[in-house]
Amino acid sequence: MRPGKRGYLIGIGGVSMSPLAEVLHGEGLIISGSDMQRSDKVSHLENIGIRVNIGHNAENINAGYDFIVRTAAVRDDNPEIKAARELGIPVFERTQAWGALMKRYKNALCIAGTHGKTTTTSMCTHILMAAEKDPTVMIGGTLPLLHAGHRVGAGDTIVMESCEYYDSFLAFCPTIAVILDIDADHLDYFADLEAVKTSFLKFARLVPPDGVVVANYDDANTMDALKTLDRRVVTFGLSPEADVQAVNIVSRGAQTDFDVIHKGKLFTHLHLQVPGLHNVKNALAAAAAAITLGVSPTAVTYGLAGFHGANRRFEFKGKYNGADIYDDYAHHPGELRALLDAVEPLGYKRVIVIFQPHTYSRTNALFRDFVTQLQRPDLTILAEIYAARETNTLGISSASLAKEIPGSIFRPTFDEIETILRASVQPGDLVLTVGAGDVYQIGEHLTALGK
């Protein structure tokens, strides 16, 4: 992956592949690729001089390519993969390519954790932009500041949201690894919580001896996972024992003010425009990462003051019949708990949650925890499980959850759910569409009615 080398990216229009293509192109490599359909991302790549083939065909691959990069959705039976293997061209996964790219940056800031990755990566981006570090960024969601989920910068810092699923973050090369929390998730891949903790420990050990691991002191699983780590660790949390601590926390509706203490001394004062104690901790993680990078307190303050949330993270969608409509990506019981903790003090007459579980395996493995959290809203409406990558071999449905949640309603189609909402939503209500699937469409449709 050096200037002048020729690379071909299969699935080049993807959310993580298109910025990878742009970065490699900017580094002086000759990049082309393919995607199954045209999109705005494909058009953008073509506009900056990257050739994109529509459709995957063996004829697109020739011996002139030095390497192939594929997205996770591209399997070994793909005709372009087959052609590359027949020609002896090395094939790499997307995460391997990003990992190789990180080696070119003085600072590789990788944000990991079961919950809060997108928000904290977005907060770090705001801080580094305020500090004029001109970072390269890869986020798992859209950030309004960037009008995208990525940014190609010319500075010496790259910021990457880093996911543990399938151990994908183990292909990265962090100089600063942030671990927000560790919880039992992705149990279709990991055997149990201990396997998840082992994966995060391996991730932390990727940091070089002169690097830093930023860890959540308040999270018992994180601290247990790192107890044998032989790297410098900077902790954050609400505990007085944390290296970076929040004190004097004052919440006013959706806004939160607090002081950031670093090793017993005031570092800065923060004014957050997003609610919830979980976002205080996310901001502390971002501040701790900024401290390790030598960013000024002023840049941290101004960077976070301008942060109003990432796409699908307590995102305001509009109003319907006097009610506020918000959307959130929460798809794990821990994320539901944090979301409901954040909204309950906001003073709404009722909290109505439309929840779409994500994957059969997660719903089954964490069933009782979902039931516990989904009893909390004034009204819970359940959409059918979003299958994502799975088939239903477990025989589970959202109807199974509804049977255990008093007063809840299950409806298998969005049209049926919208009918209930149009008849019941009142002024002063908070309506939350929640889940990692396409449940956000319900809120968008309601607000588009303009009532």
Name the least confident of 218-222, 313-317, 377-381, 400-404: 313-317
161 is catalytic: yes
- When pLDDT is averaged across residues 240-256 and rounded to a whole number, the result is 93
- When pLDDT is averaged across residues 257-270 and rounded to a whole number, the result is 96
DSSP code of residue 30: E
Q: Of 22, 80, 161, 315, which one is the catalytic site residue?
A: 161
Q: Of 71, 114, 118, 142, which one is the catalytic site residue?
A: 118
Residues in a beta bridge with 252 = 255
Confidence of residue 131 (pLDDT cuts 50, 70, 90): very high
Whole-number Å distance between alpha carbons of 419 and 42:
38
DSSP code of residue 240: T
3-class DSSP state of 153? coil
Burial of 52 (0-12, 13-18, 19+ CB in 10 A): buried
Q: Of 71, 114, 117, 317, which one is the catalytic site residue?
A: 117
Confidence of residue 450 (pLDDT cuts 50, 70, 90): low
pLDDT above 70: residue 438? yes
Average pLDDT, the chain: 94
- When pLDDT is averaged across residues 131-147 and rounded to a whole number, the result is 89
Asked whether the beta carbons of 258 and 269 are under 8 A apart, the reply is yes
Domains defined along the chain, listed by start: 6-93 (3.40.50.720), 105-305 (3.40.1190.10), 315-448 (3.90.190.20)
Q: Where are the alpha helices (DSSP H) in 27-171?
A: 40-47, 79-86, 94-102, 117-130
pLDDT above 90: residue 68? yes
Using one digit for the tens of pLDDT, what is the confidence trace for 324-362? 999 999 999 999 998 999 899 898 999 999 999 999 999
Residue 451 pLDDT: 62
Residue 71 pLDDT: 87
Using one digit for the tens of pLDDT, what is the confidence trace for 298-314? 999 999 999 988 778 88
Q: Which two tokens stand for residue 445?
A: 């449709």
Chain length of the chain: 451
Asked whether the beta carbons of 169 and 179 are under 8 A apart, the reply is no
Residue among 128, 179, 173, 178 nearest 154 (CA):
128
Residue 187 pLDDT: 84
Q: Which two tokens stand for residue 7?
A: 């690379």
Residue 272 pLDDT: 94
> pTM to 2 decimals?
0.84
DSSP code of residue 172: -
Burial of 119 (0-12, 13-18, 19+ CB in 10 A): buried
